[in-house]
Structure 1
Amino acid sequence: MHVSPTTWRKSSHSGPEYNCVEAAFLPGAVALRDSRDPDGPKLVLASTAWHSLNADIKAGRYDLRRA
């Protein structure tokens, strides 16, 4: 799947010393990539899967500090 370079948005939690995630919102899908490796691999999720993952992250289900 081709994703135009102008469609990428960096996470609002990004900072210069962190590994950052960028997202591209596509029709019916969301593509994710490492901002420090823009030519590297991309993960493409169906919009429904993205919304479920995002809800789980916001709920703290993947917070390693709580483990």
Structure 2
Amino acid sequence: MNVVWHKSSYSASNSNCVEMGVFGASVAVRDSKDPHGPSLNISARAWSEFISGIGTGIFPVAK
């Protein structure tokens, strides 16, 4: 299965960052510095809760 990877719009094109992509019923997360390396696969629900937690301040974001 091919994954279309996305990275934050806050990242410059040459910046190293975390990328995410939908992989079946889960979300894959990887390091953009190693695009052929391993990815962490988590459930879509866990990803949604993580993103929600960032939005509500549960997971502070460095600025």
Alpha-carbon deviation of 1:17?
A: 6.4
Residue of structure 1 in register with 2:38 after alignment: 41
Q: Secondary structure at the match of 2:30?
A: strand
Provide the C-alpha distance between the structure 1 equivalents of 2:46 and 2:5, rounded to a whole number of angstroms: 19
* RMSD over equivalenced CA pairs, Å: 2.1
Which consecutive residues of structure 1, in runs of 5 or more, have no partner in the other structure?
none
- Greater fraction of residues in helix: 1
Aligned residue-pair number: 62
Match status 1:50 vs 2:47: yes
TM-score by length of 2: 0.75
List structure 1 runs of 4+ shifted beyond 6 angstroms.
Answer: none
Counting only pairs closer than 5 Å after superposition, residues 1-67 of structure 1 correspond to structure 2 as 4=2, 7-16=4-13, 18-63=15-60
Provide the C-alpha distance between the structure 1 equivalents of 2:2 and 2:11, rounded to a whole number of angstroms: 21
TM-score by length of 1: 0.71
Alpha-carbon deviation of 1:64?
A: 6.0
Provide the C-alpha distance between the structure 2 equivalents of 1:46 and 1:34, rounded to a whole number of angstroms: 18
Judged with a 3 Å threshold, the aligned counterparts in structure 2 of structure 1 residues 23 and 17 are, in CA distance, closer, same or farther, namely same
Which consecutive residues of structure 2, in runs of 5 or more, have no partner in the other structure?
none
